[in-house]
A and B are shown apart, each in its own frame.
Chain A
């Protein structure tokens, strides 16, 4: 087997192992699914009346933002899962096998895509109930979901790296909160770009979370007639998102594999 084929095979074996856990510990899945529902309902009904989105119902406009936010938060699972693995005995077995160095990471990030697919389905259904609609056809909508998943996959690699650096699972949840909260709230996920002040607005426009939100919002046809933003990132959100995806994976995948090797050979 070539090195690449072997790395993929090994990653797939580890991913299967992670997926079995979803079935054996269904409580995890419940949390994965409940929190996005909660976010949909909270924002739709608590802030819904206070935020103006011209030409489109706020609840319809909001859902793409919830998708984006949940996808980013979901990456925390990657970090937490790895941090847990590193403390468990099984990692000693993995270390002693002639398997690819990247397998544990490739497997983890891949199996977490399944989590994201599940939570996107649940959120989409909840969204449909509260008034979200797909207005641009099934193909574009699928492209929107695919872009969200690809972006989530990239963020998973960031969290994988963080998960390997932290001493325990508890730390990762707090650490990711500090980064993810500002990233998702200072974006157009919940509030239109134009309502941010001059200082925050450039950050919002170039924030990758805004880009993935804007891209899927456009693809679902929920953008409305608001003035929007002239920034290149907001005019070309799909391209801008994909640039981030490539950059993040190019930087964090090798960093994580390196960290894995360092951590496993203390």
Chain B
């Protein structure tokens, strides 16, 4: 196998007492998509910044397209298109002016920078607003422009830091379409996300990180298998029925039934036939007169992955550590 387009080995970064990265290894083969999945403060952004030369790791090495990012940051930068969590566009400039400026700072030359800007505006569906200052844009439009900015020099490696965080569902869908297109064209992509669903849709390979280290690695299916696929969640009207409900859930559950909320909230991981299991549970509830406030089928989320991998919730960890 040829050398991966992105490779990080043993990345360590400390902020005073917090270890943002604790020896992270990553490898993305050419033309593949790797998702770095983790909650706030897991070290995703720190990892991205180390890989894109914005941050100097305390230990470890990183190469992008065969270039050592520590030894030759300028050369590495010309191979990477980075689109960050906060749209890095100038709010007083129009979309066109932003892209031309970026092109000229990539030293494309004035004429090529202009042509490229026009091309990207069309591609990203931004021509309509192209002559308005970007501060009038919606969050989704800004993100698209930012991604367009990352692509000005047609870099072989694209790094996206939480490309859809904070976007409404429609903008998210648009963003996904754009990212899929890029992958179709053969770009090598590293993206960070807090959403398992997003990683599932976009990535070939997922690395789950927590406290700056890898806690799981695999395809979306492999990770889901570890978390037990979908789950049935039940909220009871009263704790009186807890025992009965638990018994009924147990009949379909993969693994044990989790009980929360003082005995009123129950959850059970289920197998392939999730819908059938749900039906059976509801029939059981009907038969034994179990009163429920809410019953539902839920896909595994990052939280579930976390719960099953680490035993703790992804949200109860200090989110401040990231900055």
B203 within 8 A of A: no
B217 within 8 A of A: no
Contacts of B12 in A (CB 8 A): none
B78 within 8 A of A: yes
Are A96 and B52 in contact, with the CB atoms below 8 A?
A: yes
CA distance in complex: A147, B91 (Å):
34
Contacts of A16 in B (CB 8 A): 101
B284 within 8 A of A: no
Report which of B56, B78, B97, B102 forms a contact with A265, defined as CB distance below 8 A: B56
| Chain A window 196-217, contacts with chain B (Cβ cutoff 8 Å), 1 for yes, 0 for no | 0000000000000000000000
Contacts of A20 in B (CB 8 A): 92-93, 97
| Chain A window 64-102, contacts with chain B (Cβ cutoff 8 Å), 1 for yes, 0 for no | 000000000000000000000000111111111111000
A21 within 8 A of B: yes
Are B89 and A94 in contact, with the CB atoms below 8 A?
A: no
Are B101 and A17 in contact, with the CB atoms below 8 A?
A: yes
Are B89 and A96 in contact, with the CB atoms below 8 A?
A: no
Contacts of B92 in A (CB 8 A): 20-21, 24-25
Contacts of B105 in A (CB 8 A): 10, 13, 94, 97-99, 103
Are B84 and A92 in contact, with the CB atoms below 8 A?
A: yes
A195 within 8 A of B: no
Q: Could you say which interface size class chain B belongs to?
A: 20 to 34
Contacts of B89 in A (CB 8 A): 89-90, 93
The listed residue with most A CB atoms (<10 A of its CB), out of B89, B104, B133, is B104
Which residues 72-109 of B have a CB within 8 angstroms of A? Answer: 74-75, 77-78, 80, 82, 84, 86-93, 97, 101-102, 104-107
CA distance in complex: A13, B75 (Å):
20
Contacts of B106 in A (CB 8 A): 97-99
Contacts of A21 in B (CB 8 A): 92
Contacts of A10 in B (CB 8 A): 105
Contacts of A174 in B (CB 8 A): none
CA distance in complex: A19, B102 (Å):
16
Are B77 and A96 in contact, with the CB atoms below 8 A?
A: yes
A9 within 8 A of B: yes
Are B54 and A89 in contact, with the CB atoms below 8 A?
A: no
CA distance in complex: A103, B104 (Å):
12
Question: Beyond A1-B107, A17-B93, A98-B77, is A93–B54 a contact (Cβ under 8 Å)?
Answer: no
Interface positions of A (Cβ within 8 A of B): 1, 6, 9-10, 13, 16-17, 20-21, 24-25, 88-99, 103, 264-266
> What are 23 A-B residue pairs whose CB atoms fall within 8 Å in the complex?
A9-B107, A13-B104, A13-B105, A17-B93, A21-B92, A24-B92, A24-B133, A89-B86, A89-B87, A90-B90, A91-B88, A92-B84, A93-B102, A93-B149, A96-B52, A96-B53, A96-B80, A97-B102, A98-B75, A98-B106, A98-B107, A264-B54, A265-B56
Seed contacts A13-B105, A24-B92, A97-B106; 5 additional CB < 8 Å A-B pairs: A94-B105, A96-B52, A96-B88, A97-B102, A99-B105
